């Protein structure tokens, strides 16, 4: 073990090596990682042991799943999606950040719960442009939530499957401390916010040890590529893979390699909602959010449930932030009132499959109606790329 980590960390690592049970190994390895100073000289040690820790935690979760009773009732935290699911979260504090007031303002739900501690999720439907947004007010997140404190594991499980996380920051309190807690718990729960997936794939093989391939010009421009390759091999082997093919498609860090090896990692879109903007002196904190967190949160919105004001059109802002488009279908000249919501870049094929697979299997052609084009109506095929508010009429054989 390198002398760069210090005597306390070395002692903690020895405790990890001496640990007998899985839970003890995890506890000691977490303690070791918390004590290691973070700088260039310890980067390799941290990455290797983060990879080992992720492997141990996977084993722990698998063991817990096997031990669970099959007759257990459905948790109130397990919420079936309806439309676009948006979950409001905040840190635990009295008074709270005003999530329930915001939910009531948007949806009319939970009026009698305003100002009270929310122990289970409260749900309402916000409709914009005939699109339904399921707004979920989650119980406040406490320190240690990622480890299970305050129903934290159940809350994090639902966050992992939602369409959008909205962090509600009380502008009348210190905003940094609120965000420090929430961001730390999300990270500990393997939820990465507003990050692209690493440009890397790792495929287990039956032989040939660990091989690393740089497949694009950007990937080949990674710094110190020989050293990086060796570190990647070490980290992959530490995760339990002895034979694998690693394909790299862009700039990569060793921490991204660790994340790519962890199937528990999810990448979620997240926005900031500054609440209680009607209170005195909140503009200073809102300005602080904009100046210090815009790189991590491209969308920061000020709100006041009391004044019934939101800085932007929330429905439109969410659609743009999630990179969604609205596509209207037509049948014999009658345009549907409610649009299909698809990812930007979707094609006619995606619309056909969304309606029913028979529309794809028996597809002949489609008529596209696009406002503003010189040719308002035109015949298109399955691969034609659509834009927001296009109208499509599919014809089958």
Q: Quick check: 174 pLDDT over 90?
A: yes
Residue with the bigger pLDDT between 7 and 236: it is 236
Tokens of 144: 């240690």
d(CA 273, CA 178): 12
Percent of the chain at pLDDT above 70?
Answer: 96
Cβ atoms 134, 140 nearer than 8 A: no
Kindly indicate the confidence band of residue 1, based on its pLDDT and cuts at 50, 70 and 90: low
| More reliable by pLDDT, 114 or 224 | 224
State both tokens at 380: 């298109």
The secondary structure of 355-376 as a DSSP string is: H-HHHHHTEEEEEEE-TT-SSS
What's 38's DSSP letter? -
* pLDDT tens string 235-294: 999 988 999 999 999 999 999 999 999 988 999 999 999 999 888 889 999 999 999 999
Residues 32 and 170: their CA atoms lie apart, in Å, by 34
pLDDT band, very low/low/confident/very high, at 74 (cuts 50, 70, 90)? low
Identify the pLDDT of residue 62. Answer: 81
The strand pairing partners of 365, in sequence order, are 395
**pLDDT recorded at residue 67:** 66
Q: What is the pLDDT of residue 57?
A: 87
Give, as one character, the DSSP assignment of residue 385: B
Q: What is the pLDDT of residue 10?
A: 83
With 60 as the cut, is the pLDDT of residue 71 above it? no
Measured CA to CA in angstroms, residue 210 lies from 223, 232, 245 at distances of 20, 9, 6
Who wins on pLDDT, 304 or 113?
Answer: 304
Please tell me whether residue 383 adopts helix, strand or coil conformation.
Answer: coil
pLDDT number for residue 72: 55
pLDDT (0 to 100) of residue 251: 94
Sequence-distant (≥ 6) Cβ neighbours of residue 240 within 8 angstroms = 55
> Angle at which helices 175-188 and 282-293 pack, to 10 degrees?
40
pLDDT of 312 > 60? The answer is yes
pLDDT in tens, 338-386: 999 999 999 999 999 999 989 999 999 999 999 877 768 899 999 999 9
Give the pLDDT score at 141.
94
User: What are the structure tokens assigned to 29, written together?
Assistant: 């390895």
Mean local confidence (pLDDT), 7-28: 85
Q: How confident is the model at residue 97 (pLDDT cuts 50, 70, 90)?
A: confident
Report the length, in residues, of the chain: 397
**DSSP-derived pairing of the beta strands 164-170 and 131-137:** unpaired
Q: How far apart are CA 13 and CA 36, in angstroms?
A: 10
Distances (CA, A) of 56 to 39, 96, 189, 388: 24, 36, 14, 45
- Tell me the average pLDDT across 182-195: 95
């Amino acid at each position: 073990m390198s002398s760069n980590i210090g005597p306390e960390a070395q002692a903690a690592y020895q405790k990890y090596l001496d640990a007998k049970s899985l839970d003890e190994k995890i506890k000691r390895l977490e303690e070791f990682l918390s004590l290691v100073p973070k700088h260039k000289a310890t980067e390799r040690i941290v990455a290797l042991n983060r990879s080992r820790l992720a492997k141990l935690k996977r084993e722990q979760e698998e063991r817990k799943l096997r031990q669970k009773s099959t007759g257990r009732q459905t948790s109130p935290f397990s919420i079936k999606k309806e439309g676009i699911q948006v979950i409001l979260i905040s840190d635990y504090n009295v008074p709270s950040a005003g999530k329930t007031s915001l939910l009531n303002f948007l949806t009319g739900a939970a009026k009698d719960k305003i100002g009270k501690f929310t122990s289970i999720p409260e749900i309402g439907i916000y409709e914009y442009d005939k699109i339904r947004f399921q707004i979920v007010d989650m119980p406040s997140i406490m320190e240690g939530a990622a480890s299970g404190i305050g129903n934290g594991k159940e809350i994090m499980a639902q966050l992992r499957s939602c369409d959008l996380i909205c962090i509600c920051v009380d502008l009348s309190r210190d905003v940094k401390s609120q965000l420090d807690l929430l961001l730390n718990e999300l990270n500990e729960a393997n939820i990465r916010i507003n990050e692209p997936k690493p440009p890397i794939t790792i495929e287990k093989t039956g032989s040939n040890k660990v091989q690393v391939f740089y497949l694009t010009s950007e990937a080949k421009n990674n710094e110190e590529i020989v050293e990086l390759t060796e570190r990647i091999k070490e980290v992959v082997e530490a995760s339990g893979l002895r034979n694998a093919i690693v394909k790299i498609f862009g700039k990569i860090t060793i921490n991204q390699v660790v994340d790519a090896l962890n199937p528990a990692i999810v990448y979620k879109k997240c926005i900031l909602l500054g609440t209680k903007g009607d209170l005195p002196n909140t503009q200073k904190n809102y300005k602080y959010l904009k100046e210090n967190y815009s790189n991590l949160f491209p969308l920061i919105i000020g709100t006041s449930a009391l004044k019934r004001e939101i800085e932007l059109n929330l429905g439109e802002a969410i659609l743009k932030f999630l990179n969604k488009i609205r596509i209207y279908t037509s049948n014999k000249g009658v345009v549907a009132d409610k649009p299909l919501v698809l990812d930007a870049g979707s094609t006619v094929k995606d619309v056909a499959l969304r309606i029913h697979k028979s529309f794809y299997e028996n597809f002949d052609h489609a008529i596209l109606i696009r406002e503003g084009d010189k040719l308002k109506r035109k015949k298109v095929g399955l691969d034609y790329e659509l834009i927001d508010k296009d109208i499509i009429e599919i014809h089958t054989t």
